[in-house]
Amino acid sequence: MENIQHKHVEVRGLKLHVAEIGSGPKAVVFLHGFPEIWYTWRHQMVAMAKRSYRAIAIDFRGYGLSEQPAEPEKDTFIDLVHDIVALLDSLAINKTFLIGKDFGALPAYLVAALHPDRVTGVVTLGVPFMLPGPSAIQNHLLPEGFYISRWQEPGRAEADFGRFDVKTVIRNIYILFSRSEIPIAAPDQEIMDLFDPATPLPPGFSEEDLDVYASLYEKSGFRYPLRVPYRTLAVDCGITDPKVSAPSLLIVGEKDYVLKFPGMEDYIRTGAVKHFVPDLEITFIEEGSHFVHEQLAEKMNQLILTFLDKHAI
């Protein structure tokens, strides 16, 4: 696609899949969420490269074409942080912009907080600064059928997903996450039961795109994604009162279901998030969904490029 090059880079004993396009001293590293993969950034990568940025998107360890760690159940978000820094070293990148979507926002901000000399700026989509730990997501304020609570329960998502092929699971989750309501199952339902097979794919995501997503998850499976982010989200990462000094941009779709998590909208709109990220711009996209970067690719590209050009060194 548009001359995107692919390779594997040895990072902390694992080979991580790296997609790259563009050249020059200004680097941008894209960090995906779930159920996404490097490919989710296809539109942004091409746009950044055309503006003379070196655009890099990875599959996190355990995802897609990257290798699985030997013991996934021992990993936490800090492993992703260490991977990103080691990847920058391997690619001879001294400083970069980090762009994170969904759970990819967490390691983006943590790298910026722990290694400020390596980060020019941070852009996150849908998810503000959050510190992994017991209070990261307040599951107890939502019904028992809250999808994160269900997926944190050992074996439950495995059994739920196992009733379907990988492509169907990705289709179901993508459509559920495209809605403006938090996915919550009834006591006698599983999360996959919330899906209506008659529902079409949302704008910006084609059957061909679904095929790419599915082929990559067929390679990796769901063992690691269920560990990171879901089953490690409440694990304290040992960081107290972190600060992100880099200029940052948070883009939030007003139809993103994450905005309805308990306390989330107030945390963002009141500016409380700026306790952790003082130099933060916040932009709301009225029609934006959880997948706003695919749904409204050109608009997002322009917003991101305006921020990058403003802060590029």
Q: Which strands, in side-by-side order, build the sheet including 54-58? A: 5-11, 14-21, 54-58, 27-31, 96-101, 119-125, 248-253, 280-285
The active-site residue out of 53, 213, 230, 257 is: 230
**Helix, strand, coil percent values for the chain (each to nearest 5):** 40, 15, 40
Kindly state the tokens that stand for 210. 């679904």
3-state secondary structure of 79: helix
Kindly state the tokens that stand for 159. 């059994």
83 is a catalytic site residue:
no
Do the bridges between strand 54-58 and strand 96-101 make them parallel or antiparallel, or are there none, so unpaired? unpaired
The active-site residue out of 75, 102, 160, 256 is: 102
CA angle in degrees (0–180, nearest 5) for 28-249-57: 25
8 is a catalytic site residue:
no
Q: How many residues does the chain have?
A: 313
For 28, 93, 300, the CA distances from 88, given in Å and listed in that order, are 11, 5, 25
The active-site residue out of 17, 32, 43, 290 is: 290
Q: What gap in Å lies between CA 293 and CA 224, rounded to an integer?
A: 24
H helix runs in the chain, sequence order: 42-50, 77-90, 105-114, 147-152, 156-161, 166-178, 207-220, 223-227, 264-269, 292-295, 297-311
39 is a catalytic site residue:
no
**Residues that are catalytic:** 102, 230, 290
